[in-house]
Amino acid sequence: MSQKTQEPVITKVSELRTEEAKWVTLRKVEFVDQVGKPRTWEVAARKTRGRAGVDAVAMGNVLLHPSRPASTMVVIQYRPPLDAYTVEWPAGLVDEAETPEQAAVREFKEETGYECRVVSISPLQAADPGMTSANMQLVMVEADLPETELGGGGRDDGMPLQRLEDGEHIQRVVLPLTELYDRLVEYSKQDRMIVAAKLFHFAAGMHFAQTQKYF
Amino acid sequence: MSQKTQEPVITKVSELRTEEAKWVTLRKVEFVDQVGKPRTWEVAARKTRGRAGVDAVAMGNVLLHPSRPASTMVVIQYRPPLDAYTVEWPAGLVDEAETPEQAAVREFKEETGYECRVVSISPLQAADPGMTSANMQLVMVEADLPETELGGGGRDDGMPLQRLEDGEHIQRVVLPLTELYDRLVEYSKQDRMIVAAKLFHFAAGMHFAQTQKYF
């Protein structure tokens, strides 16, 4: 993380008036429920949804290396909402005129430096349905690592250049797929680090399938 | 879904002023980033976080039946933020003085009617870290189904009574664990239905571990 010269620090937290917010907003939904009773619900929403009707994509990625085990790249970045570093799969908002697949390939290249190919795309998912209208799709992608690159546990040294936006400071970490769950648990024990729920749930599902006693 | 007598319908959506919101709020976070530059970030936050510092729990559950395959219970409910029915694992907010484990057992009983025991609890996870400070823990639980109950694909008939709050209309569906991923994909194809991202990611992780070609 060559650009990182200091720990980010929050200087002020204030109430944000809805009419001043640019990226998110609050809405009051009035509805009539299943038994005919009028009710209301408070909703946080993104203001950036484009034509595809999909707010965001996350890229569940498999990195293939000629001689090393298959791995996946996670990104670590300071997230002001948590005042912590999060461990996530590369992800991003879908631009106004993009398809989710196009957003996946573009954002993966920007955040990781690698070209990828889309293997599959999930149905639309509700990000956090009790609180927000935000939705997303999980795009599974593959990328090929040249023989000369690590592909198995190292940090960004030797990886292709990222194309980050101003203000983005994203560290890349390559984790063997077989170690994903254990490594996320380890990250969670570190000070000021938190794993994103979607990535953690995917890894927990892998771990469950491989270790549980019910089948 | 005996209480359901009509489809919920939204009658009005309006901008909600931050100072009028009771459950969620917007905050402006001012911070100094890694390279010393002052920046701001817009954050949606829950206003209900209690002493545990954990907003919510979701219960990854395994239902054990004397003679049928292990299954899991998902809940289907109308979610105004999406104007759709969501498929989720039982979940709920952690009350002011509760531990996450206590919230898991209480909420599981309320939403499903079943007693459960906690098998494991995940590290703290960030619900949607680009947008919100909301966090959660995944609590894996087990519950025993008596021989007389379905435990394998049926709807709520014959299940114990739920203890729902006023306004909650929650349908319970028992799915065999081996069919979880395929059933969620099927639900996603239905009109006005959407699967919650955390549950979908867990199931996708199980499916990935069982079907992928990389290990």
The pLDDT score that the predictor gives to residue B157 is 56
B21 interaction partners in chain A (CB closer than 8 Å): 26, 42
B206 interaction partners in chain A (CB closer than 8 Å): 205-206, 208-209
ipTM for the predicted complex comes to 0.93
CA angle A146, A151, A155 (to 5 degrees): 120
CB contact under 8 A, A169 and B33: yes
CATH of A39-211, one of 3.40.50.150, 3.90.1640.10, 3.40.50.2000, 3.90.79.10: 3.90.79.10
Q: How far is B31 from chain A (nearest CA, A)?
A: 4
For residue B125, pLDDT beyond 50? yes
CB neighbourhood size of A187 (10 A): 20
The pLDDT score that the predictor gives to residue A21 is 95
Give the DSSP H or E segment for A140.
strand A135-144
The pLDDT score that the predictor gives to residue A2 is 47
The CATH classification number of B53-211 equals 3.90.79.10
Asked whether the beta carbons of B170 and B74 are under 8 A apart, the reply is no
CB contact under 8 A, B44 and A202: no
The pLDDT score that the predictor gives to residue A203 is 98
Q: How confident is the model at residue B167 (pLDDT cuts 50, 70, 90)?
A: confident
**Cα B68 from Cα B60, distance rounded (Å):** 19
Structural tokens at position B62: 């395994």
Beta bridge partners of A46: A24
The pLDDT score that the predictor gives to residue A76 is 96
Q: How confident is the model at residue B213 (pLDDT cuts 50, 70, 90)?
A: confident
* Nearest C-alpha neighbor of A89 from the set B135, B197, B33: B197
**Cα A6 from Cα A213, distance rounded (Å):** 46
**Cα A61 from Cα A71, distance rounded (Å):** 8
The pLDDT score that the predictor gives to residue A157 is 55
**Cα B57 from Cα B34, distance rounded (Å):** 32
The pLDDT score that the predictor gives to residue A156 is 52
CB contact under 8 A, B4 and A34: yes
DSSP state of B132: B
Q: How far is CA A98 from CA A93, A115, A117, A118, in A?
A: 10, 17, 16, 15
Task: Sort strands B84-88 and B193-196 into parallel, antiparallel or unpaired.
Answer: parallel
Residues A201-214 have a mean pLDDT of 95
Residues A131-147 have a mean pLDDT of 94
Beta bridge partners of B14: A28
Per cent of chain A over pLDDT 70 is 93
CA A46 to mean position of chain CA atoms:
16
For residue A103, pLDDT beyond 90? yes
**Cα A136 from Cα A201, distance rounded (Å):** 15
- Output the CA torsion sign for B189, B58, A89, B53: positive
For residue A148, pLDDT beyond 70? yes
Which chain B residue has its CA at the smallest distance from A13's CA? B29
The pLDDT score that the predictor gives to residue A162 is 84
DSSP string, A66-128: SSS--EEEEEEEEETTTTEEEEE--EEEPPTT--HHHHHHHHHHHHHS---EEEEEPPPEESS
DSSP state of B37: -
Chain B contact for A135 (CB, 8 A cutoff): yes
CB contact under 8 A, A196 and B123: no
For residue A153, pLDDT beyond 50? no
**Cα B159 from Cα B151, distance rounded (Å):** 10
Mean pLDDT of chain A: 91
Q: Is B173 exposed, middle or buried (0-12, 13-18, 19+ CB in 10 A)?
A: middle
Tens of pLDDT, residues A15-48: 999 999 999 999 999 999 989 999 999 999 999 9
Beta bridge partners of A92: A57
**Cα B43 from Cα B46, distance rounded (Å):** 10
Q: Is A137 exposed, middle or buried (0-12, 13-18, 19+ CB in 10 A)?
A: buried
Give the DSSP H or E segment for A183.
helix A180-189
Chain B contact for A12 (CB, 8 A cutoff): yes
For residue A1, pLDDT beyond 70? no
- Output the CA torsion sign for A105, A106, A110, A115: positive
CA angle B119, B125, B128 (to 5 degrees): 135
Residues B44-64 have a mean pLDDT of 95
CB contact under 8 A, A6 and B127: no
Phi and psi torsions of B83, nearest 5°: 50, 45
Q: Is B13 exposed, middle or buried (0-12, 13-18, 19+ CB in 10 A)?
A: middle
CB contact under 8 A, B195 and A125: yes
For residue A92, pLDDT beyond 90? yes
Q: How many CA atoms lie within 13 A of A160 on its CB side?
A: 13
Structural tokens at position B42: 């817009």
Q: In chain B, positions 33-52, which contact chain A (CB-CB < 8 Å)?
A: 33-39, 41-46
Residues A67-85 have a mean pLDDT of 95
**Cα A33 from Cα B167, distance rounded (Å):** 8
Task: Sort strands B135-144 and B125-126 into parallel, antiparallel or unpaired.
Answer: antiparallel
Beta bridge partners of B63: B71, B143
**Cα A10 from Cα A8, distance rounded (Å):** 7
Q: Among A161-165, B122-126, B145-149, which range has the highest average pLDDT? A: B122-126
Mean pLDDT of chain B: 91
Q: How confident is the model at residue A209 (pLDDT cuts 50, 70, 90)?
A: very high
Q: In chain B, positions 69-88, which contact chain A (CB-CB < 8 Å)?
A: 69-70, 78-84, 86, 88
